[in-house]
Structure 1
Amino acid sequence: MNRHTARENAFQILFQLEINDRDAKEAIEEHTDTLEIDNFLKTLVEGVSTHKTELDQVITEHLEKWTIDRIAAVERTILRLAVFELKYQEDIPSSVSINEAVELANVFGDEKSGKFVNGVLSKIVA
């Protein structure tokens, strides 16, 4: 599984966890029944789940006229995923993490999601 696909799958699992209060490891196993369990996917899902409070704090510090609770679940999940990569995945350039997050937002969010995600992440890396 390439990293782009792993990110998409990680987003889907994390989104499910956002909606349903479940264990990350169980969600990974259920989601990957038909897929190979990818280490990058596992790192993303478990990392975001473990550091959720810290990631939300970083996001909150860079929001203008928004609160973390007002952000739609799709964008909030994508931001958490990207911020985890920015903070904990040193081998990934920040531009790649931001670009991947914007692509996810364009696919899974509405027409304004990509711009919103890009704006917040740009402030975080500045």
Structure 2
Amino acid sequence: MKRRTAREKALQAIFQIDMNETTPNEAIEYVLDGQSSDEYLEKLVVGVIEKRADIDAILKDHLEKWTIDRLANVDRNILRVAIYEMTECAEDVPVNVAINEAIEIAKTFGDDESSKFINSVLSKVKQTMED
């Protein structure tokens, strides 16, 4: 499975967990719909769920005039996946790649403003990481 596909499936699984409080394994199985699983997909889903408190703290610190609860569910979960990749997968995924992938996924799954919003928030996270 390509990494983009793994990210998209991870977003869908995390969205489902966020909305329905299902288990990571159930959510992964559902989004795969009979396809074989992927190590990177599982790493993203389990990692985001395990680190959600830390990821959400980073996210809250970089939102201006927004609370995490006011974010669109899709945007919130795209940001969670990207922040996880930026903080936990940096040895394997360059920060700029994580940001660009999140922006492209936002263009597919978010609304008209999602990609700009995602870019803005993740650019601030990147700046903080570099300081």
Q: CA offset at residue 33 of structure 1? A: 4.0
Matches within 5 A, 1:1-126: 1-90=1-90, 91-126=92-127
5+ residue gaps, structure 1, are: none
TM-score, with normalisation over the residues of structure 1? 0.96
In 1, Cα distance between equivalents of 2:33 and 2:114: 30
In 2, Cα distance between equivalents of 1:31 and 1:112: 25
- Equivalent residue letter for 1:89: C
In 2, Cα distance between equivalents of 1:100 and 1:69: 23
- Equivalent residue letter for 1:109: G
In 1, Cα distance between equivalents of 2:17 and 2:31: 12
In 2, Cα distance between equivalents of 1:106 and 1:30: 23
Moved more, 47-56 or 113-122: 47-56
Q: CA offset at residue 102 of structure 1? A: 0.5
- 1:24-53 deviation digits (Å, cap 9, x = unpaired): 122112322421110000000000011111
In 1, Cα distance between equivalents of 2:102 and 2:51: 18
In 2, Cα distance between equivalents of 1:31 and 1:77: 15
Identity rate, percent: 48
TM-score, with normalisation over the residues of structure 2? 0.93
Q: CA RMSD in A?
A: 0.9
List structure 1 runs of 4+ shifted beyond 4 angstroms.
none
